[in-house]
Structure 1
């Protein structure tokens, strides 16, 4: 079965990586932990909030890797063995990735009452036309 590429349109020059981008986004959406919200603050600012109950700020890392925002959580060893009657708070290690558009930058992250907030902003592109000179032989 042949697969139709999203970037097969001849007017979309330089978008060969679009298929890979869509696949990365689909893989990221399949992750279920931790739950998160995405808030659009205004036209160019966003906030991702992850529910990370049981994790301390030092257990978390926020990085930008290859055009993706990557949030990781890993708890240190708990002191002593405990016998839980019910364990509903997941403390397993996790990695949650978000594919970032071009010009999207992480502007900060802060931790508050079991929630990790990551702020993003879309930087304005230069919208000035560029004149291209035409060479002639001779």
Structure 2
């Protein structure tokens, strides 16, 4: 496993070494970093949840959201950069990311939107009616009921 080096302090404190630093950046493998981007998991109602992820600089078509069984996968990969622009210091990360969330039974995604650099994913837990607890009435008197008794009535 290769370790990742953060070269941003060098970009901030050097001038004229752009080519050398670019070569070092390109030589390093770009792997998703665990825990990045930052995110919140919020409970917004009895059975409603929200995942809010900070994805500044990403466009909606650069982010993929997939729910498979009880796992939610969120990944992002930037499109190739405009070669006419030379970035001397990059404070807004554009590295790829991958995050997964284990979902409880019957939790599904209801909405996803990208606003002000935040990816907001709304989830709801919808338990089917046949699986919800139901109250059973207790009959009193009259003895046991059988199918023959019902046919006679």
TM-score calculated relative to the size of structure 2: 0.60
Tell me, which stretches of 5 or more residues in structure 2 are unaligned?
Answer: 1-32, 137-153
- Alignment equivalent of 2:55, drawn from 49, 52, 66: 52
SS in 2 for 1:42: coil
Deviations 1:63-113 (A, max 9, x none): 112421111101110111543332221101111100001111111101111
Q: Which has the higher strand share?
A: 1
Q: When the two structures are aligned, how many residues end up with a matched partner?
A: 101
1:39 to 36, 42, 53: 42
1:96 and 2:102 correspond: no
CA distance in 2 between counterparts of 1:115 and 1:53 reads 7
Report runs of 4+ in structure 1 exceeding 6 Å deviation. none
The answer to which of 35-44 and 77-86 deviates more is 77-86
Q: 1:25-60, CA deviations, whole angstroms, 9 ceiling, x for partnerless residues?
A: xxxxx9221100111111110110100001001101
Q: Does 1:107 align with 2:104?
A: no
Unaligned runs of 5+ in 1: 1-29, 131-138
User: CA RMSD of the aligned region, Å?
Assistant: 2.0
Q: Greater share of helix residues, 1 or 2?
A: 2
State the TM-score, normalizing by the size of structure 1: 0.66
Larger Rg: 2
Tell me if 1:123 matches 2:126: yes
Q: Aligned residue for 1:71?
A: 74
In 1, Cα distance between equivalents of 2:84 and 2:36: 24
